[in-house]
Structure 1
Amino acid sequence: MSLIPVTIITGFLGAGKTTLLNRILKDNHHKQRIAVIENEFGEENIDSNILVQDDAEQIVEMSNGCICCTIRSDLVTALTRLADKRRNGDINFDRVVIETTGLADPGPVAQTFFLEDAVAKDFMIDGIVTLMDAVFAMQQLDEYEQARQQVGYADRLLISKTDLVSAEEVELLIARLRRINPHASIHTVDFGRVPVAEVLDLRGFNLSSKVEVDMDDHTHRHDHDHPPHHDHECGPDCACSHHLDDINSFVFHSEKPFDPDRLNDFFDRMITLYGPQMLRYKGVLYMKGADRKVVFQGVQQLMGTDVVEKWEEKHAPESKLVFIGKNLPRTIFMEGLHASLAD
């Protein structure tokens, strides 16, 4: 039996997570039965009008066949209980959506699917979706590490309430989000109205040869051990001149192959030294003597690799890696990666 895909919806208080969730549950076009795990400390509850009230074991079946489970213990218990009931034929669902609280760090939630065998045997993460409130996002990113972490872990960023701010403010926010996380695609949403395809089936944690990196703002590379370097003149309103986020990103690109032993040693050292700070990292690797692409993806200290298709003849082999983390020493990473290339 294939693994059940899980979408994690996160975002700061008031960003519109529950509004989005209610839209998904009312949308009949996706033809999927969804189990929702909702943290009871959320600022708003799932719309009771679409629930069939049944308080047994805190699992509620909805009128459209979806399931709602409020977490009163821990996530592992909630997931394993849902999986057991599905196996026994008590309930039926195709996927799970987890709505975190506004102040939640998505890291421990994501790690649950890698560290807990009882969860990993039934579930896999499909993607992390982070909602941002256009009115308060800049302030929240300045003041709260959780807000920056939510952006750093995301596979997709959705910006709400853009009608309440100027187009220039939206552009400044988008530029900042891209610097923090060039891996996530960014979309605006209107009162939770968003195509379900932009939330579900993201395959953000699949090991694949496609690495999406938005390179637009990678002239703005902010390192904690060096002052920010700009390839352009910053004016007084430039976003990068005011917000030096502790969570940011950098990209490594090379057309030279890696030496496998050197690269393994490098990753072992970096994960040992900086693992908790490495929120998301992924890439496609060109390895010496190999005619196939090697892909990798990691969350903090947990990393997986796979060998995929052959390099296309019309495209020269190349490596492309993206790292998103908290105060990662870009210089050490870049020099180490260069040193891991084959002679």
Structure 2
Amino acid sequence: GSLMRRRDRFDAILIETTGLADPAPVAQTFFVDEEMQTKLRLDGIVTMVDAKHVVLHLDESSECKEQVAFADVIVLNKCDLVTPEELDQLERRLRGMNAVARIVRTTNAQVELDAVLNVGGFDLDRALQQRPTFLEPEYPFEWAGAFHFDEGNATLVINDGPDPEMTVMAWKLPNTTADAIAEVQDRVAVFFSADPQEIAPGQGFTLGTTPVSVQLDRGGEKRFLLNLPERGAYALFTQHHPDEFSMRVEQQGHVLAAASEHVFNPEHEHDEEVTSVGLEFAGEFDQKKLNSWLGELLMTQGTDIFRMKGIVAIKGAAQRFVFQGVHMLFDGRPDRPWGETPRSSQLVFIGRNLDRQALHDGFHACLA
């Protein structure tokens, strides 16, 4: 209280908690206490991770996982005590649990103040600027290739590989550049996560928003037909890297090479309880529907949602709506006007037992 009245005399308040404290109650104070909310903003949560010993904690302690999930910045300390390979592996694992935090590597906790102050944790845009691929760990496919096809059928020839089936999707592109793949990858990811339609060797499939699961349990080469309505640029998205199945693409007897391709960062640690789910929607939300759905979501799953952030386009509103939540607490406010920027919404959830498809469907139902 008395500290707040001397507001003009300080720039920032740093709150340090003990080793494995739950950051939620501390963060919640900034959303619940009215005086705090009017005079302060929560700039960001910084978590220090011991590169040498954290793996033990990650395996045993849910508090440790929660701390990683809550962070806006993760300071990865004692980097001199582990090999570069171990460090990369650890960073991948942390990324899988929190796709939006900035990771700073340090030795003896030597860290520039700029890295941990004025984090702008609230500003999702910053996360996007620092890491345009912040949805990357969420991609349900490992590979995409852009091809130029003639009208008619193309054939996917797939051999035995590590899995008895593989999910595949084809998507129309404006051209065969890597940028064209990047433009559609978030949208495709949303559809790719749906239940696929199974197709057997020799059968065909078309472009569309339903993924197909090609059945690979027979030995030898298997051929699947892709029906193409017109000549032009198309992307193929595959759940695994084509090399693992010696996959090739043919049309009219010729093998086609991808004009450009992208290998995604697959998330293999499916046993990790804490995950991030990133969703993107074109179009605008109906504010009433969105409010009631979010309210229901927080009531039923709030304990499992550690953090959520979003930039949302609301029908009839000139400004972007920005929100962030910690467990059951929710803080949202209008932000700068959309102006010429195309209206699209991005939402990120970090938590335990998150069901990507259910989250997608729930939000999708709130579109105006």
TM (norm. structure 2) is 0.61
Question: Corresponding residue for 2:63?
Answer: 146
The match for 2:332 is 305
Give, as a single letter, the amino acid of the residue that structure 1 aligns with 2:361.
E
Q: Is the 8 A contact 1:211 1:282 kept in 2?
A: no
Q: Which has the larger radius of gyration?
A: 2
Q: Structure 1 residue aligned with 2:72, among 151, 155, 159?
A: 155
Letter in 1 for 2:239: D
Q: Does residue 99 in structure 1 map to residue 19 in structure 2?
A: no
Choose from 256, 261, 283 the match for 1:256. 283
What amino acid sits opposite 1:321 in the alignment? Answer: L
- Structure 1 counterpart of 2:256: none
Q: Which residue does 2:149 correspond to in 1?
A: none
* C-alpha separation in 1, matches of 2:367 and 2:17: 41
More strand by percentage? 2
1 CA distance for matches of 2:86 and 2:327? 32
Q: Which residue of 1 aligns with 2:136?
A: 216
Kindly state the Cα deviation for residue 289 of structure 1 after the two structures are TM-superposed. 3.4
- Structure 2: which amino acid aligns with 1:218? E
User: Higher mean Cα deviation, 191-200 or 290-299?
Assistant: 290-299
Separation of aligned partners in 2, 1:280 and 1:168? 29
Superposed CA deviations along residues 67-88 of structure 1, whole A, max 9, x for unmatched, are xxxxxxxxxxxxx35445x47x
Q: Distance in 1 between matches of 2:97 and 2:295?
A: 24
Task: State the distance in 2 between where 1:121 and 1:319 align.
Answer: 27
Q: Shift of residue 118 of structure 1?
A: 4.9
Q: What does residue 322 of structure 2 align with?
A: 295
1:21 corresponds in structure 2 to none
Shift of 1:240: 5.5
Alignment match, 1:325: 351
Is the Cα contact below 8 Å between 1:129 and 1:154 reproduced in 2?
Answer: yes
Displaced runs of 4 or more, over 4 A: 208-211, 238-243
Answer yes or no: is 1:182 the counterpart of 2:190: no
User: Per the alignment, in what secondary structure is the counterpart of residue 14 of structure 2?
Assistant: strand
**Residue type of the alignment partner of 1:300:** H
Contact 2:140 2:266 survives alignment (8 Å): no
Whole-Å Cα distance in 1 between the matches of residues 10 and 309 of structure 2? Answer: 30
Q: How does 1:113-128 map to 2 (within 5 A)?
A: 113-128=30-45
Letter in 2 for 1:137: V
Counting matched residue pairs gives 250
**Partners of 1:142 and 1:245 within 8 A in 2:** no
Report the CA distance shift for 1:171/1:312 in structure 2 as closer, same or farther (over 3 A): farther
Seen in structure 2, the aligned counterparts of structure 1 residues 257 and 120 have a Cα distance that, compared at 3 Å, is closer
> Structure 1 residues 117-126 or 191-200, which shifts more?
117-126
| Unaligned 5+ runs, structure 1 | 1-79
Q: Distance in 2 between matches of 1:104 and 1:248?
A: 20
Cα offset for 1:241? 4.8
Q: Which residue does the alignment assign to 1:69?
A: none
Change (3 A) 1:172 1:210: same
Query: Could you tell me how far 1:203 is from its partner in structure 2?
Result: 2.0
Query: How many Å separate the matches in 1 of 2:355 and 2:23?
Result: 22
User: For residues 79-122 of structure 1, what are the alpha-carbon distances to aligned partners after superposition, in whole Å with 9 as ceiling and x for unaligned?
Assistant: x35445x47x9xx5432211111121101111122223354454
Note the C-alpha offset of 1:210: 4.8
Measure the CA separation in 1 of the matches of 2:337 and 2:127: 16
Tell me if 1:231 matches 2:225. no
- The 5 Å alignment of 1:186-205 reads 186-205=103-122
Q: Deviation at 1:176?
A: 1.3
Residues 1:262 and 1:210: Cα distance change in structure 2 (over 3 Å): farther
Check whether the contact 1:209–1:293 (CA below 8 A) recurs between aligned residues.
no
Preserved contact between residue 320 and residue 337 of structure 2 (Cα < 8 Å): yes
**1:336 matched to which residue of 2?**
362
The answer for the alignment partner of 2:81 in structure 1 is 164
Q: Distance in 1 between matches of 2:48 and 2:71?
A: 9
Q: What does residue range 55-66 of structure 1 map to in structure 2 within 5 Å?
A: none
**For 2:240 and 2:22, how far apart are their aligned partners in 1?**
34
| Deviation digits for residues 232-282 of structure 1 (CA, Å, limit 9, x no counterpart) | 36x9xx995566222211001011222222211210110111112221111
TM-score normalised to structure 1 length: 0.65
Change in CA separation of 1:242 and 1:326 when aligned onto 2, cut-off 3 Å: closer
Q: 2 CA distance for matches of 1:120 and 1:289?
A: 27
SS of residue matched to 1:96: coil
User: Residue 94 of structure 1: SS of its match in structure 2?
Assistant: coil
Distance 2:266 2:51 in 1: 14
* CA separation of 1:169 and 1:239: change in aligned 2, threshold 3 A: farther
Deviations 1:21-77 (A, max 9, x none): xxxxxxxxxxxxxxxxxxxxxxxxxxxxxxxxxxxxxxxxxxxxxxxxxxxxxxxxx
The residue type equivalent to 2:120 in the other structure is: R
Deviation of 1:324 (Å): 0.8
Aligned partner letter, 1:158: V
CA distance in 1, matches of 2:294, 2:11: 36
Q: Could you tell me how far apart the structure 2 residues matched to 1:210 and 1:196 are? A: 17
Matched, 1:277 2:309: no
Give the C-alpha shift of residue 220 in structure 1: 5.8
Shift of the 115–291 alpha-carbon distance from structure 1 to 2, 3 Å rule, reads closer
Question: Residue 96 of structure 2 contacts residue 269 of structure 2 at CA under 8 Å; is this kept in 1?
Answer: no
